[in-house]
């Protein structure tokens, strides 16, 4: 029964994120950060309610792990569809047929790099000046975190 409640909490959290990301005030914010905030609030409230109802038990911990896994899966799925060439191509082909030449124009490497740069600028990870592109303070923190994770997992730079 608790697993069903956990899945309901996760579902309500996802619906809340979906609604919040469409609000004009929040529409241009980073979707991942917005979901982390919403997911954390729901998770903390759910954890508090479980703790009040049953104390610190293995059941509480397992339900929170299922909730956290569901949140991570949701983030993975929606970030994958944002940046995936295959997913974007399938969605375009769903709307109308494209020729190979049209696909090559849509996905030429210069346009893809330009689109990614614009996306990084829009989420304020990089900025543009007369001298070129540079990391913002937010981008610098993220780059430091990436470097730490690469080092921790012993991946070469």
Let me know how long the chain is.
Answer: 157
**Rounded to whole angstroms, what are the CA distances from 50 to 35, 60, 78?**
22, 6, 28
- Give the tens place of pLDDT for each residue, 106-121: 887 887 788 888 888 8
Q: Residue 9: which of 58, 42, 38 has the closest Cα?
A: 42
What percent of the chain is helix, strand and coil (3-state, nearest 5)? Answer: 75, 5, 20
| Positions in the chain whose pLDDT score sits under 50 | none
Q: Helix, strand, or coil here: 127?
A: strand
The pTM assigned to this predicted structure is 0.63
pLDDT (0 to 100) of residue 6: 94
pLDDT of residue 157: 63
């Amino acid at each position: 029964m608790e697993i069903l409640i956990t899945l309901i909490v996760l579902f309500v959290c996802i619906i809340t994120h979906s609604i919040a990301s469409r609000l004009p005030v929040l529409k241009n914010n980073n979707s991942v950060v917005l979901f982390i905030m919403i997911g954390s609030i729901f998770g903390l409230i759910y954890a508090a309610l479980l703790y009040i109802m049953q104390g610190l038990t293995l059941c509480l911990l397992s339900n929170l792990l299922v909730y956290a896994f569901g949140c991570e899966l949701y983030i993975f799925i929606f970030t994958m569809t944002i940046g995936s060439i295959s997913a974007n191509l399938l969605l375009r082909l769903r709307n109308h047929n494209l020729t190979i030449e049209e696909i090559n124009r849509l996905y030429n490497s210069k346009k893809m790099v330009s689109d990614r740069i614009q996306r990084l600028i829009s989420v304020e990870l990089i900025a543009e000046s007369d001298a070129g592109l540079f990391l913002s303070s937010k981008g610098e923190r993220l780059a430091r975190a990436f470097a730490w994770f690469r080092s921790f997992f012993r991946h070469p730079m």
